[in-house]
Structure 1
Amino acid sequence: MTPDALQAGREALQQGRFQEAIQLLEAYLAQSRQRGEAGASDSQALEAQMNLVRAYHQLGETEKARALCLELLQHPDPQARGWAQKILPRLPQTVEKPAASPPSPEPAPEAQPLSSRQRAGQLGLKIPLPERAGPLRWAKWGSLGVGILFLWWLSFVLVGAHLDFGRLSFPRQLWFLQGLLPWLRNGLRWLVAGSLAVNFGVGLLFFAPWLMDHLHRRLHKLRWATLGEIERHSPETARLLQRLCAQKQLKLPRLGVIPEGGPLAFVYGTLPDGGRIVVTQALLQQLAPDEIAAVYAQALGRILNGDILILTLLGSPVQLVYLALEQVSQLANKRRDLIGHVAPLLYLIYTVLSYPLFFLCRLGTYHADHFAVEATGNPNGLMAALLKAAAGLQEAHKNDRRPSSLLHCTRLFSFLDFKTTAAASAASRLRDPAQAGQVFLWDQLNPWARWMQVNSSHPLLGHRFQVLAGYAQRLRLLPELSLGSGPKLDGARLQSRFWLDLAIYAAEVSGMVIGWLLGLILYLALPDRLDPKVIAATAVVGYGLGLGSKAVLMYRGSLSPQPTDVLHLLADPEADPCRSQPVELEGELVGLGQAGYQLGAELKLQDATGLMPLRFTSPLGPVGNVFSGLKRLRALMGQRVKVVGWFRRGNTAWVDLAYVQAGSQQLHSRPRLWLALFGLGVVLFGVWGAFSFPNLRFYLRR
């Protein structure tokens, strides 16, 4: 029996073919024992035994699973003994044997996977950073430099450019310097703007933490806690903070607690001795003590590494935009008039201003995770904390009627991105770590993951779990999740398909570039017959044709949906945002915002395996989405419905709805129609503009 049998058994286990997995693994172990390879040094035989326990458990053969666990209790490897001690209490002696079936989800998001929780015997062990982390110093100084230049330019536009230095002149004796006067006047304007920028930046250095404190006290009822209060939930956390702060000669960060919301932790501050670490009460209640310690270590790592200091300095002015957004939202709920339609504009401004900080936040997260693992020796604790927190956030906010201000205004400062937690919600419901790890294969293997991560403030959870599992292996620990051992994928086929799909996904941009080039060629070939405006007109027409082609290619063929569930969709490593998969799901409709509030919370469907975001396009188009208030759809909230649409996967997964059905009532969505109509409108606008705009030849040749 070759090692290929072990790989085949592992794949059969991950795909739910438990009887086949048992046969392959038993045969492999029998051959190993005959050759005398099942000793303490044979890691492959040990892996086969552990997978065999999982297969027995999933198939209901609990007595066999217990017997094999008892054998592992006598194994020379201490990690194997620890794993068996952890699993054995969860295998009752008498269990009714069910039929073979795929891994069934557990209803509670706090369900623990079948895995060990071990940690390094010695703290402070040095572990090399992964290549994807990159140098943090250049990212910090680069972000700070870009922020300073932007502030300098903004000060010049708002103030410096309007200063009048017309009276400034040289004495007659210096007549030869008169030509330098325009340069000198502009230099003084930029100097004044720079002075204003420096003063504003110094003010932010001291004002930003106070602003953040005020924001969270007003919106989220932030209160300050003592170290003793945190110690009651996790004694290890108190010891950890005291030890690390003493080693780094750092003042103990200010500790805060927010009573509401799901399990979340975030950190901010502009000086190392003035950092704040804030957690929700749910995090202290739902996480184990060692997991809480890992979260605090990760937050302290962001303070010591310095990235959170830059993010607070640059991100605190953006919080003023979010504060205005909250005020407008509250007015919209009371007045029910057009004031509610200002909220999407403010949210767009807030998102655009936050986007440039995403790169530093992602890079800082890798370094903070690395610091937490070295400080605690417990990568599995941080992995479990991320999984529980992500699932808990999904569960806590699934019925929100408006976006959670806590999640949005702490996105840059939190220890995870709430927009990428759908997969974790499904994975946390699985009993076995092998199946749970398979949910994150898309993050690790799909070529789209690297591109779509640009839209995320933090690394994708699959990437973080993969890095943490690598740390665990370097510390000779069994990872909390079984990652990187999923089904074999054709990487070359995925990569070649990716470039074609990317061209379709960005068809409007490609069409605009091709149209611009075509217009330029026509104008250069026929300069006496064509006006220069043909260049702009063909670019607009190309943009519209690109949108129309997306409507055809992204919703290709007839809609023939296949019944499925959220878990199987999220576990598909080949899904992408371009090639749609017609699906049919059944579950409860949750999460749509209130009437009159036009930035409502995301519409979702919940079934027994997880939550799936839904995107609805009214038959009346964007006007119907905004002004009708989606009243018919809101009437279905909390009801069990069937949804049919096109499944897509980016940094988060979603379904473009075709229709929602509740009983005999059917509510249609028209994403393909309105994408095509919008493209046609842009084409007609470009054609009209080519004949109606003023002649641009004079302006282009001035």
Structure 2
Amino acid sequence: MPSHAELSLEAGLVALKQGNYQTAIAQLEPVATSQKNTTAGLQAQVGLVMAYARMGQVSKAIALCQNLLDSPNPQVQEWAERALGHLKNRQKRQNTAKNSANGHVAANSTNNNGTGASQQTITKTNSAAVPAGSLRNSHVETIGVNGLVASGYRAVAKSFQIYWRHAPRAKVWQPLHKLNLLPLKLLAAGTFMALFWVIREMLQLTMTLTNQIFIKLAHLRPLPLFNRNPTVLVLVVLAIAIALSPWLLDWLLGKYYQQRELSKEVLNGHSRETIRVLQRACQQRRWQFPKLRILPIKAPIAFTYGNLARNARIVVSQGLLEQLADDEIAVIYATQLGQIIQKDYLVMSLILLVTLPVYRLYQLFSEWGNKFSGFGRWPAIILASCTYGIWCLLTGPALWLSKLRVYYSDRTAAEITGNPNALIRALLKITIGVAGDIGKQEHTSWQLESLNLLAPVSYQQSISMGSLAGHIPFTSLLMWDNFNPYRRWFTFNNSHPLIGDRIQRLCKIARHWHLETELHLVNEQALRGNHQPFLLQIAPWLGIPLGLLFASLIWLVWQIAYAMKILNLKWIYEDWSFVIGSLLIGFSIGIILRMNSLFPDIKPANLQTDDRLPNLLANPSAIPIDSINVCLAGRLIGRPGVGNSLGQDLMLQSHIGLVKLHHIPWLGQSINPQDLIGRQITIVGWFRRGATPWIDIQTIQTQNGQIINSAHPIWSTILAVAAQAWGAFIFLKG
């Protein structure tokens, strides 16, 4: 149970966020007095400085800042020194504007020159709305100084601090060189064709299987309709879906996600700059003001859908408005404007319209299956797993477009607002907010996963990066994204580009405008890679072209032997299916070659523990084949029950942060990891550093001694043997 001081601190910070400064002072003063140099006491004193300043009690704020100069915490000292300078300047200049509606105490008057730029502000508290009595889930930030953020874990109430440099924005800036949108448009067209092909093939397979079943049954005849080519039907349906997508998505998101309209007045209360940015951008292009929507979820997300600029909808979550600052909200809205300008949102809206009903079916099957136990669950497990697989297939065609369009929208947002540094902060805060939401709920919410393709940041990226923020500098967390020579190979099946790559590009824009950057990243230069481990990593896929080369040589040898009448096996090798056999054999050999490196023996002396997790993530040269042996303790979290039958949402919540888990069950196991969700466990396995870090589990052990083994090496061996046997059969049989 939280202590009385923790409850008072939380209540005071929430009151500060809501602008109720008298209540905030009443709640924070006792904590600041009784717990002077503790983390809670320092948080309370920082909150009091802001509350006093906003109440006009500048002398009290100055006195408290002077006390904080003697704090044992160096970051608090730095904050107090900077805040003290602003407060003394304000005391000298009583005509300084005070903006209590937005929670600002401005150090200089806002620049309303039409560029959206503003002068340096003292502080802003940005705390997520939290349930009463839950200090551990609070998210408090001191903009321009230190963010005092609680970790969000139920197991350990451990505080950490995040320093935001608050690098400036451009007051006057030159437009960037004009981008060539042709690659984006071609990729959007290719995405549409790929989606059409996937839907058509799935429909064709369904119709064919249905008729085959009817043929096998004695009293039923195959349906003539199912023998027709569905190409025209699929094209017509997709065209109608594009035409109606804004209104159909309005209905779907309103019914199942509680989406509602967001008024300009409410948005203005969170970010006055956003309204100015939207109005200016729309007036320049002679557009109507976009329709604004909001989702009542705590995770910070934003996305856009529609088919024309005049009926585009920009959707944000409640969490985004609460966890981001004024200029950061504005720049996220500018990214959504960029997607409207680029017109890529049309295809993405179609993808969302097609996938949301399928995902909803998966959710319904999961909830239905959770009502049963034992053998009665199996029909729901099969249905939910198959539906989830279909959802993954339908989202697959949009992965490349989802990655590429983000680069364009980031650049457009920076150009519209002149504030690339705010976008850097926004992206990092979104990762923190998403990880905090996952940690709080102890699973990935349905909304996060189903809307992930259109979100500003992938939730998979946020799991480790967002939860470790504060334990290690962002520059260290992003080193892998910036310097690993093979990093882009590991984003092949990701829905978003690497955050470090995006931030590096935004830093280049800031330097182009002669701005200090929010993060001091070294100029992008990849490390010199060791090709041998990487070639071993991709050995199964290299085996495929090598198998093709082997098939070509075999074909040439048998053709020569037949022509010279040495050996007549042409009756076998005139059937080109032997090429498929060669490809399978090559793939199998690749799996076998990398087996020992991918799953080395785990020795107790070499095990890395929880405290080493930040260093493992920061290693810029690591790739998944490095297979670092780890032993981590924490709480197993993830989606409970049928919805996690494939193990797609398993995570370890340690006192350091979150990390993704991969588990492959073995036949005959009486207990599965889903049965242990919410319990304290110890994981032994192989840590892999890719675009999304994860651990391949060897064993899971509970506190009472239960052990679950994961069969990664066994299933890899079975896959290799099966591919070898099948390939040899095809190769010899023809």
Q: Normalization by structure 1: what TM-score?
A: 0.71
Taking the aligned partners of 2:487 and 2:691, their CA distance within structure 1 comes to 7
Q: Does 1:577 align with 2:624?
A: yes
What does residue 4 of structure 1 align with? none
2:589 corresponds to which of 522, 545, 550: 545
Q: Report the equivalent of 1:254.
A: 291
Work out the CA distance in 2 between the residues paired with 1:613 and 1:398: 12
Describe the superposition over 1:178-212 as per-residue Cα deviations: whole angstroms up to 9, x where unpaired: xxxxxxxxxxx99x966x67754542332112222
Instruction: Tell me whether 357-366 or 556-565 shows the greater mean CA deviation.
Output: 556-565
Cα distance in 1 for residues equivalent to 2:171 and 2:700? 56
Deviation at 1:342? 2.8
Q: What is the correspondence of 1:303-702 to structure 2 with a 5 Å cutoff?
A: 303-313=340-350, 315-334=352-371, 336-398=377-439, 404-430=445-471, 435-484=473-522, 491-492=527-528, 494=529, 496-497=531-532, 499-504=534-539, 506=541, 509=544, 512-513=547-548, 516-517=551-552, 519-521=554-556, 523-524=558-559, 526-527=561-562, 528-530=567-569, 531-532=572-573, 535-559=579-603, 560-563=606-609, 564-595=611-642, 598-599=645-646, 601-620=648-667, 630-631=671-672, 633-663=673-703, 665=705, 666-689=707-730, 693=733, 696=734
Separation in 1, partners of 2:501, 2:306: 27
Distance (Å, rounded) in 1 between the aligned partners of 2:521 and 2:317: 29
Pair 521,602 (structure 1): closer, same or farther in 2 beyond 3 Å:
farther
Could you tell me which runs of 5 or more consecutive residues in structure 1 were left unpaired when the two chains were aligned: 1-55, 88-102, 163-188, 697-702
Taking the aligned partners of 1:679 and 1:374, their CA distance within structure 2 comes to 51
SS in 1 for 2:678: coil
Q: Name the SS for the 1:604 alignment partner.
A: strand
Q: Who is 2:25 aligned against?
A: none
8 Å Cα contact 1:262/1:280 also seen in 2: yes
The percentage of aligned residue pairs carrying the same residue is: 27
Quote the offset at 1:324 in angstroms.
3.4
The partner residue of 1:269 within 303, 306, 316 is 306
Q: Give the Cα–Cα distance (whole angstroms) in 1 for the partners of residues 554 and 704 of structure 2.
A: 52
Q: Distance in 2 between matches of 1:233 and 1:568?
A: 37
Distance 1:454 1:682 in 2: 24
State the distance in 2 between where 1:296 and 1:261 align.
18
Superposition deviation, residue 587 in structure 1: 2.3
Unaligned 5+ segments in structure 2 are 1-68, 89-107, 109-118, 125-145, 153-158, 208-227
Aligned to 2:329: 292
Q: In 2 relative to 1, CA 60–124 (structure 1 residues): closer, same or farther, beyond 3 Å?
A: closer
Q: Distance in 2 between matches of 1:228 and 1:453?
A: 40
What secondary structure does 1:349 align onto?
A: helix
- For residues 153 and 292 of structure 1, what CA distance do their matches in structure 2 show? 37
SS in 2 for 1:341: helix
> 1:205: which partner in 2?
242
Shift of the 650–207 alpha-carbon distance from structure 1 to 2, 3 Å rule, reads same
Alpha-carbon distance between aligned partners in 1 of 2:396 and 2:712, rounded to the nearest angstrom: 27
Encode CA deviations 1:413-432: one digit per residue, 9 max, x unaligned. Answer: 2222222223431452247x
Given that residues 442 and 573 in structure 1 are in contact (C-alpha distance below 8 angstroms), is that contact kept between their aligned partners in structure 2? yes
Secondary structure (helix, strand or coil) at the match of 1:672 reads helix
1:136 aligns to 2:174 (yes or no): no
Q: Which residue of 2 aligns with 1:90?
A: none
Amino acid of the structure 2 residue aligned with 1:645: G
Q: Distance between the aligned counterparts of 2:237 and 2:674, measured in 1?
A: 46
RMSD: 4.1
Task: Give the distance between the partners of 1:149 and 1:266, measured in 2 at CA.
Answer: 22
User: What is the SS of the residue equivalent to 2:336?
Assistant: helix
Matched, 1:282 2:338: no
Compared CA separation, residues 155 and 655, structure 1 to 2 (3 A)? closer
Code of the residue aligned with 1:524 in structure 2: it is Q
Distance 2:167 2:459 in 1: 27
Of structures 1 and 2, the one scoring higher in RCO (CA 8 A, sep 6+) is 1
State the Cα distance separating 1:514 from its structure 2 match.
5.4
User: Secondary structure of 1:617's partner?
Assistant: coil
- Give 1:357 deviation, angstroms: 2.1
For 1:509, the aligned partner's letter is I
Helix, strand or coil: the match of 2:624?
coil
**Does the 8 A contact of 1:362 with 1:459 survive in 2?**
yes
CA contact (8 A) 2:282 2:289 kept: yes
Task: Indicate how the Cα distance of structure 1 residues 152 and 384 shifts in structure 2: closer, same or farther if over 3 A, else same.
Answer: closer
Helix, strand or coil: the match of 1:589?
Answer: strand
Distance 1:337 1:261, change over 3 A: farther
Write the distance in 1 (CA, Å) between the matches of 2:492 and 2:238.
28
Aligned length: 570
